[in-house]
Structure 1
Amino acid sequence: MCAPKDTFYWTDGQATGTDGFAWGPPLHGGPPQPDGAVNSWGAQDCAQQYLFANGAFLPAWPGFVHGQIDDQWCLDTGGPRNKIQNYFQSIFTDYRVFRQKDFLLTLNDLSAQIPFEDIHEDYEFDEFANNLKAMPKAPYLILYDSSNIDVVLNHVCNLQFIPNTLQRLVAVAFDEKSEMILRKNYPEIPNVLINLKPIVDSMDPKKQNRGYLVYTLALVVHAKICASLAARGIDFWSMHQDTLWTQNFDMMNVEDRYPDANMLFDTIGNENPSYDRMRDWVCGATFFVRGNPTTFQFFRQLESYMLSYQSPDSSIMTYLCGHHHYKCEFLPQWMVSSFNYFEGPRENVPVLIQLDGGKKPGESKMDVLKRGHFVFRNQNGTYKNEMQFLNLTIVFVLGLLIFYYKSIYNSIRDRLRIYHFLSKFDGPLAFPLVGNLYLVNIFDISKLVDQVLHLAWYYCKKGCGIVRLWIGPVPMLAIVNPIYAKEILESNEVITKADEYEILFPWLGTGLLTSTGDKWRQRRKMLTPAFHFKVLNDFLSVHDYQAKVFLDQVKQFADSGDEVDLFPYIKRMALDIICETSMGATVDAQNNHDHQYVESVRRLSEIAFLWIIYPWLKIKPIWYLSGYGAEYDRHLEIVLDFTKNVIEEKWTEYQQYQLGAEKKDKRSMVFLDLLLQLRSEGLMNEEDIREEVDTFMFEGHDTTAASMGWTLWCIAHNPDIQEKVIEEVDRIFGGSDRDCTNEDLKQMKYLEKCIKESLRMFPPVPFFGRKVEKDVVIHGNFLPKGVRIILVPLVLQRNPLLFENPNVYDPENFSEEKMSSRHAYSDVPFSAGPRNCIGQKFAMMEEKAVISWFFRKYRISANVAFEDNKILPEIIMKSSLGFPVTITHRMDNK
């Protein structure tokens, strides 16, 4: 069992055994004894004695039980090793003391014979590393051999209490015996155990001193494997079983070299300052390795220090008794689930206890916990009785299930029905919770559009019309073929907006954009007269006036030649136009560059899109804790107050003048006037008016501004196209400054092609969402009630099967010849069918008028590359860089 007890001397501050081997100074505290002092302890036990007495050795061994009462003597006195081992049922193997310095040096020489490159570049290891990287969650890695198999078994015993952990365990064995033992005890571990026996055989072909060789060699190889995995960018959990790393760790001056421990790893039992935390890590704790260059360098340096280490290890029992302030704690399942332990960086994680020792016949492991009065620690440091909490939790959950069983049953039934039918559609592999989000980088929306397009085109080329997608845990059907788009958009049954529009309800209510069913049909019918061409013609004077103000605003940049981002100027102009044409109100945003409404609409659009793509923001506590909820509410209040004040002012005016032909000129009739008339007739109330005004204000200025900006951006990068636009404008106006007429707009055939082509490449609306309210059949495909449908105009409009060069700006894509040769629903920037954009004619008139005015006065160019300005898919498609251009006066029109 224990090593023989030799007489132990102190000479010149070093401990020396009877065999003449120098042990080195006492580890971690304890003053050197006077020369000639004699101690009856064995050499290794003597080192333990000082460790126990001084309490200076910090690491806690997470795979072993620390009792609360019976074994307190171990922490205080440091009893002899054999008594400790007998007390804990000899679960550890007999770690013999290494007696010969030459033998240790031989081991280190042998360790150096395994180059890092031999492991890193080995074909089998390469395959092994790739398998680890492909695992959906970070694997849990254990390197072991027969000398520490008991420690590993005890640790695995603890891990089995954490759900889904054994399924992630990857065991790397150094010999066949240890591999066989673990397989026999834990056959449920699914991952193939890697056996490094050939490496050991190549270093010790005669198989001499195998136990000692493997025990020391394992630590060096472990460091090399960790370095190789870190070099490949693989994150993984690991466990170490030895103290040999401690002195090397001190020699590396890690506190100075790696002051931020989080750059390298996260530990279990992390309650110490930075340096002590790292020392805990190298002395036997379970830890999480980050795969990055810093970690790679750390392990390579640690490996080189270990090769020069010339002292034997201390007993494994040092871990058991060296840390006097660790509590005996049980990690309950609810805590694992709630705080995602064994997933990533954590702090203050409880120490796991082993439950094999001290069991009585017939007792379960839970009985052992109850009998020992074990407790667990919460995140806030408080202690509760685990079993009491577990019982209350069970009662509470059962109560909820009984109370809501009908709703739960119906929800599960409907969801399973949707899953059954959706499984018939083609789509990418999805994972629980994340769905297909792993295919795109939702945290960098500048890359999101390209990633979505490549994914959609893949299925287009396969001939798919509908693709199954999972946005997190939510299943959807994406329409990627114009034939299917036509049936969906023209359907009078699939008109309900998808749940993704819920974020807009506090802002736009259930106006024309977000309403459904009879309310939508009634509103559409009532509001259509406001967009009759005769009414729209009356707004041309507003377009002309605001366009001239816009030209005056940018004239300073034409004079100076400085680059300017046109988008803020276009947005303010569009806001002035929509306010005057829809509400008869003068805002003068073009001369008030700090107008709050413009900024608030911008932030509302950005935050709303984050709510759509980040599923966790739909949970209200997270929504507000993230800060987005409060910011959204703040900007929402500004927007609603703005429209509310205008509506109240116009309602007062309407009552005073009793709007009618005899009291007010019909030419002054605006959108809000129609709504107020409907209110006076009892067909709409104040909230109804507010919904429609906010909807028209948002859609009428943000989408139009984005479309105008993209059109000017495209023309700026195509001088030949710009010349054709200028020629057409000159042909119509002949160099005059007269206002536009409806006849003028009809003659702008080429400019209309340019606008439509920019709408094809950069549609203002990123997606149209629908929700199936009852079972329908679309192009022979059954769609069950409750399924969501998403149509991304960009997918159709940049489909290489529909457009020859989809990423090239070419207005001739809208020549009569090309339009007649492709499906009508290949281009749907304003949607189509019964729910198409009610204001699309208004938008086209506004864009034609403004852009024609611009090219009457100026030319435009851009220094930023066309492709560098990425699409940002917010509620409205924006540009990542704005629209930075250079404006010059037309020499013939200055």
Structure 2
Amino acid sequence: MILGVCVALGAIALTVYLYRKFFGALYYAAKIGGPPGYPLLGNALLFINKPPPEFFLTLQNTIQESGKCFRLWLGPELLIVVTDAKVAEAILSSPKYIEKSGEYDFLRPWLGDGLLTSSNRKWFANRKIITPTFHFKILEQFVEIFDQQSNIFVDQLLPKAETGECFDVFPLVTLCALDVICESAMGTTVNAQILSDSEYVRAVKEITYIIHLRTYDVMNRYNVLFSLSSYRRRQDKALKILHGYTNSVIQSRRQALAQRNSGKAMLERQESDIGLRKKVAFLDMLLQATVDGRPLTDEEIREEVDTFMFEGHDTTTSAISFLLYRLAKHPDIQRKVYDEIISVVGEDRTLPVNLSQLNEFHYLDLVIKETLRMYPSVPFFGRKITENSEIANITFPAGANIIIMPFFMGRDPDYFDDPLHFRPERFASEMSAEKSNPYRYVPFSAGPRNCIGQKFALAEIKSLTSKILRHYEILPPQQDQHQEESFIAEVILRPTHGIPIRLQKRQ
């Protein structure tokens, strides 16, 4: 009798669990609507075995056919794609929806439980620690790094300008941004611009590729299947390099800090061996930070440093590269930006640009905003719905991953007049209109989990762009070298065919 009751109660509990986890989600997902799928696979066949550009086009076509809010099933996982500004506002502005979607789990092998991937109490504590890092006094030190690495960058570009050849600037910007973020985050240099084929640079490329693959490849989304694949072995190899480098810098920096605090001589020879600089880096502040009265462990510090590394180099690479592309295509806009830079900085190209001067580049601000409207560095970001929620008259079921798409919102004619026309001035007029929803433009996300490094990123973009324009005029490729725009929506937005430009030295 007792056994029968226990079995019955167990069956009821299992039924309730399955209903809440799957059948409830099926019911509400059906009301949301979306493309037809198949049993077990869902909509996975839409994306499987498609090269990245086709993946992006498939998503674009699905949005056009299914509207601003629809569901996708990747196996048993429910994704709700959102390009509706009102829904985006309700989700991003609320502290209720701060847990990241399941796709961010693919970052955890590299970033652990850092600021980007953590939630609840740990996220609040980490955010509180890291926010002062981007105070303007500290940003001024970072701007020095931007300027020094930009000098190396323009030197690297000189042979291209002398020959007038057409070349892809994207990989060169990537190396410059990597040098910037290494020195800013860890106080060390990897000399990526000089040693472009370094082990560390290759490992960064490898891990970002694998993270992207797992977001849409249903066979690699699940840890059990992924652990059996060759990608898992490739990931382990890359992580050994990435974590090994960060750990070595943390240990050396911690030893140097201990020596300094005890009044002993600095370990100059040891620091020199790994290229440590004397500027205060992001790592230095973490080494002196405390949570609940205790210092951070090496693992906690590594998670935040690696997060800063991940978020801070690929995103600015994308923004700067697409900005240069648009300046090449619009010489009139390029001339306005150049004139503004000269009016603030002057004719002497050897003078560094400080933070105060960067803040005076108001027209360049508009150009950056317009670039990020059309080419947001992060083309999508996600939140996890932890309980059934009514948002904009739609019930979002518990367990659903909400995928917000700033790329498609920025190109929606319902939100922007003539959206495919590059017009920076719109941000001096359209975006100030009272009737406009600010959540139609969210390249840095918004609300409680907005990008904490936004000021850092904008200062770096301005610094590098101004340095390039002081030395070179940016020209488009020859007509026979022109290719239609095509995108790869990896972890960041990338151009399928690179960013082909030409350069001409300024007199």
Q: TM-score, length-normalised on structure 1?
A: 0.51
In structure 2, runs of 5+ residues without a counterpart are: 1-6, 267-277
2:123 to 520, 540, 543: 520
Q: What is the match of residue 502 of structure 2?
A: 886
1:314-333 map, 5 Å: none
Say whether the 8 Å CA contact 2:35–2:66 is kept in structure 1: no
Residues 745 and 595 of structure 1, relative CA distance in 2, 3 Å threshold: same
Q: What is the match of residue 424 of structure 1?
A: 31
Q: Distance in 2 between matches of 1:541 and 1:514?
A: 30
Q: Distance in 2 between matches of 1:602 and 1:609?
A: 11
| Amino acid in the other structure paired with 1:703 | T
1:479 to 82, 86, 89: 82
2:469 to 855, 862, 869: 855
Q: What is the match of residue 269 of structure 2?
A: none
1:238-257 map, 5 Å: none
Q: Deviations over 1:446-477 (max 9, x none)?
A: 122233223223444xxx5x322223432222
Q: What is the match of residue 594 of structure 1?
A: 197
Query: What is the SS of the residue equivalent to 2:301?
Result: helix
1:163-182 map, 5 Å: none
1:562 to 154, 162, 165: 165
Q: Distance in 2 between matches of 1:882 and 1:752?
A: 24
Q: What is the match of residue 446 of structure 1?
A: 53
In the TM superposition, what is the alpha-carbon distance from 1:576 to its structure 2 partner?
Answer: 1.6
1:633 aligned onto 2:236: yes
Query: What is the SS of the residue equivalent to 1:515?
Result: coil
1:289-300 map, 5 Å: none
Q: What is the match of residue 236 of structure 1?
A: none
In the TM superposition, what is the alpha-carbon distance from 1:432 to its structure 2 partner?
Answer: 1.8
Q: What is the match of residue 275 of structure 2?
A: none
Question: RMSD across aligned C-alpha pairs, in angstroms?
Answer: 2.5
Q: Distance in 1 between matches of 2:180 and 2:137?
A: 18
Say whether the 8 Å CA contact 2:287–2:295 is kept in structure 1: no
Q: What is the match of residue 616 of structure 1?
A: 219
Query: What is the SS of the residue equivalent to 1:744?
Result: helix
Q: What is the match of residue 788 of structure 1?
A: 401
1:496 aligned onto 2:95: no
Q: What is the match of residue 607 of structure 1?
A: 210
In the TM superposition, what is the alpha-carbon distance from 1:806 to its structure 2 partner?
Answer: 2.2
Q: What is the match of residue 776 of structure 1?
A: 389
Q: Distance in 2 between matches of 1:763 and 1:490?
A: 19
Q: TM-score, length-normalised on structure 2?
A: 0.89
Normalized per residue, the structure richer in helix is 2
2:285 to 659, 674, 680: 674
Q: What is the match of residue 367 of structure 2?
A: 754
Q: Distance in 2 between matches of 1:803 and 1:633?
A: 44
In the TM superposition, what is the alpha-carbon distance from 1:434 to its structure 2 partner?
Answer: 3.3
Q: Distance in 1 between matches of 2:485 and 2:237?
A: 30
Say whether the 8 Å CA contact 1:600–1:638 is kept in structure 2: yes
Q: Distance in 2 between matches of 1:868 and 1:705?
A: 20
Query: What is the SS of the residue equivalent to 2:193?
Result: helix
Query: What is the SS of the residue equivalent to 1:424?
Result: helix
In the TM superposition, what is the alpha-carbon distance from 1:577 to its structure 2 partner?
Answer: 1.2
| Amino acid in the other structure paired with 2:317 | A
In structure 1, runs of 5+ residues without a counterpart are: 1-400
Q: Distance in 2 between matches of 1:588 and 1:628?
A: 28
| Amino acid in the other structure paired with 1:687 | E
1:703 aligned onto 2:319: no
In the TM superposition, what is the alpha-carbon distance from 1:588 to its structure 2 partner?
Answer: 2.1
| Amino acid in the other structure paired with 2:418 | N
In the TM superposition, what is the alpha-carbon distance from 1:688 to its structure 2 partner?
Answer: 0.7
In the TM superposition, what is the alpha-carbon distance from 1:442 to its structure 2 partner?
Answer: 5.3
Residues 719 and 513 of structure 1, relative CA distance in 2, 3 Å threshold: same
RCO higher in structure (CA 8 A, sep ≥6): 2
In the TM superposition, what is the alpha-carbon distance from 1:495 to its structure 2 partner?
Answer: 0.8
Say whether the 8 Å CA contact 1:776–1:783 is kept in structure 2: yes
| Amino acid in the other structure paired with 1:863 | P
1:830 aligned onto 2:444: yes
In the TM superposition, what is the alpha-carbon distance from 1:697 to its structure 2 partner?
Answer: 0.8
Q: Distance in 2 between matches of 1:753 and 1:647?
A: 39
In the TM superposition, what is the alpha-carbon distance from 1:818 to its structure 2 partner?
Answer: 4.2
Residues 621 and 787 of structure 1, relative CA distance in 2, 3 Å threshold: closer
| Amino acid in the other structure paired with 2:501 | V
| Amino acid in the other structure paired with 1:613 | Y
Q: Distance in 2 between matches of 1:879 and 1:422?
A: 33
Q: What is the match of residue 549 of structure 1?
A: 152
In the TM superposition, what is the alpha-carbon distance from 1:784 to its structure 2 partner?
Answer: 3.0
Query: What is the SS of the residue equivalent to 2:91?
Result: helix
1:649 aligned onto 2:252: yes
1:741 aligned onto 2:354: yes
Residues 866 and 518 of structure 1, relative CA distance in 2, 3 Å threshold: farther
Query: What is the SS of the residue equivalent to 2:402?
Result: strand
Q: What is the match of residue 812 of structure 1?
A: 425
Q: Distance in 2 between matches of 1:410 and 1:597?
A: 49
Q: Distance in 2 between matches of 1:787 and 1:625?
A: 27
In the TM superposition, what is the alpha-carbon distance from 1:763 to its structure 2 partner?
Answer: 1.2
Residues 406 and 848 of structure 1, relative CA distance in 2, 3 Å threshold: farther
In the TM superposition, what is the alpha-carbon distance from 1:546 to its structure 2 partner?
Answer: 0.9
| Amino acid in the other structure paired with 2:467 | W
Q: Distance in 1 between matches of 2:44 and 2:223?
A: 21
Query: What is the SS of the residue equivalent to 2:469?
Result: helix
Aligned residue-pair number: 481
Q: Distance in 2 between matches of 1:643 and 1:816?
A: 45
1:576 aligned onto 2:179: yes
Q: Distance in 1 between matches of 2:226 and 2:46?
A: 24
Q: Deviations over 1:236-283 (max 9, x none)?
A: xxxxxxxxxxxxxxxxxxxxxxxxxxxxxxxxxxxxxxxxxxxxxxxx
Residues 406 and 653 of structure 1, relative CA distance in 2, 3 Å threshold: farther
Say whether the 8 Å CA contact 1:457–1:799 is kept in structure 2: no
1:11-50 map, 5 Å: none
Say whether the 8 Å CA contact 1:679–1:685 is kept in structure 2: no
1:533 to 136, 141, 144: 136
Kindly name which structure, 1 or 2, has the bigger radius of gyration based on alpha carbons.
1
Say whether the 8 Å CA contact 2:32–2:394 is kept in structure 1: no
Q: What is the match of residue 344 of structure 1?
A: none
In the TM superposition, what is the alpha-carbon distance from 1:742 to its structure 2 partner?
Answer: 2.4
Query: What is the SS of the residue equivalent to 1:585?
Result: coil
